[in-house]
Amino acid sequence: MEDSQTENQLDESRDVQELGEDPQAKDELSKGPGPVSRRSFVLGVGGIAVLGGLGGLRFVPHGSLVRPPGGQDEDRVIAACFRCERCYEICPRGVIAPAHIEDGILAMRTPTFDFSNDYCDWCQESKGGEPLCVKACPTLALELPAGATPENTILGKAVLNTDWCLAYRLIGCRYCYDACPYEAMGLDSTGRPYVIDDKCNGCGACESVCVSLKNGSIALGATERAIVIRPLDAVQGGESPHA
């Protein structure tokens, strides 16, 4: 304990020493006590410049993300989310995850989904359908418009990759079809599941149960599950999500 105390004092004296190294700053001061020393001014302006540079990130486009309920207005999330982590902490199903730096520096640590183990049921099971994440967000970054329901709030869309799906490789599988709570999946004549886009709200149930990466015969080159939830604009943009 004492050691650390001494150390702290040391830091201060080192601190002092560094301050004293700038004879010009001293001159500046002795000319007349201004409200701010030159060193403070330089450090302060430097800090503001760094903040300005970081602020410029606003204009760097980042890929869209699947957001928890109430996070569908992307500008609102970016403006109001201060990365307090309350939403991901409170989610009873543990499906909210911090966005990674790979999703863009600006988006880093804002809430997105991780459907690897579970899906978003709008807190049906634990809260009777009142999303806890929305309730927990103190800055209204997550806020649902009046009359929002799981059916009319589109978090994203499920996209099925037929190259990687077991059913399309003639290994019988329909876990995703069975899991979908919104009847947004159908089976074709040969029993292969497909997504009914109009009905899918991106809840993630299908992704959370997909076994394509667990099965013995993983498709060559498969980097993620055969069915994944994509942000709405990524799907509507018409690009192949697996491109």
Partner 1 sequence: MLKNNAARLRLIIPLLVLVIVSVGFVLNSGTGTLSALGWGDIVLLCPLGALGTMLAAKLLIPQALISLGIAVVLIVVLGPAFCAWICPVPLVQKIRGIFGEPKNKGREGQQIAIAESSSGGEVVEAEVIAAPATVVKAGEELSDKEKASLKGCASGCDACASKREKLDSRHFILGGTLLSAAIFGFPVFCLVCPIGLTFATTLLVIRLFSGGDVTIALLVVPILLIVEVVVFRKWCSRLCPLSAFMSLISKVNRTFKPQVDTAKCIENSQGTKCGLCAQACEELIDPRHPERGAREMNECTRCRACVDVCPGNALSIPILPKKDKRLEGAPPLQNNDAGV
Of 132-140, 148-156, 161-169, 204-212, the window that binds partner 1 (rule: CB under 8 A) is 132-140
Pair 158, 194: CB distance under 8 Å? no
Nearest to 172 by CA among 208, 118, 212, 225: 212
68 binds, among partner 1, ligand SF4, none (CB under 5 to 8 A by kind): ligand SF4
Among 68, 107, 153, 228, binds ligand SF4 (CB under 6 A): 68
Pair 201, 150: CB distance under 8 Å? yes
Nearer to partner 1, 22 or 224 (CB): 22
Torsion of CA 30, 36, 42, 45, to 10 degrees: -160
Q: Which are the contacts of 23, defined by CB distance < 8 A and separation ≥ 6?
A: none
Among 65, 206, 228, 234, binds ligand SF4 (CB under 6 A): 206
Please tell me the count of residues contacting partner 1 according to CB under 8 A. 78
In Å, what is the CA distance from 168 to each residue of 62, 66, 187, 192, 229? Answer: 33, 26, 11, 6, 19
Mask for 77-96, x = binds ligand SF4 (CB under 6 A): ----xxxxxxx---x-x-xx
In Å, what is the CA distance from 87 to each residue of 66, 148, 182? Answer: 14, 18, 24
Among 148, 182, 222, 241, binds ligand SF4 (CB under 6 A): 182
Binders of partner 1 among residues 64 to 83 (CB under 8 A) are 75-76, 78-83
Among 65, 180, 228, 235, binds ligand SF4 (CB under 6 A): 180
Q: Closest separation between CB of residue 28 and partner 1, Å?
A: 10
Of 51-59, 63-71, 201-209, 234-242, the window that binds partner 1 (rule: CB under 8 A) is 51-59
6 binds, among ligand SF4, partner 1, none (CB under 5 to 8 A by kind): partner 1
Structure tokens at 69: 């309920």
Binders of ligand SF4 among residues 185 to 204 (CB under 6 A) are 185, 193, 195, 200-204
Cα separation, 237 vs 159, in Å, equals: 13
Cα separation, 156 vs 235, in Å, equals: 8
Structure tokens at 72: 């569908």
Torsion of CA 100, 101, 107, 111, to 10 degrees: 10
Interacting residue ranges for ligand SF4, rule: CB under 6 A: 68-69, 81-87, 91, 93, 95-96, 110-111, 120-123, 131-133, 136-137, 139, 141-142, 158, 160, 165-167, 173-176, 179-180, 182, 184-185, 193, 195, 200-206, 209-212, 226-227, 229
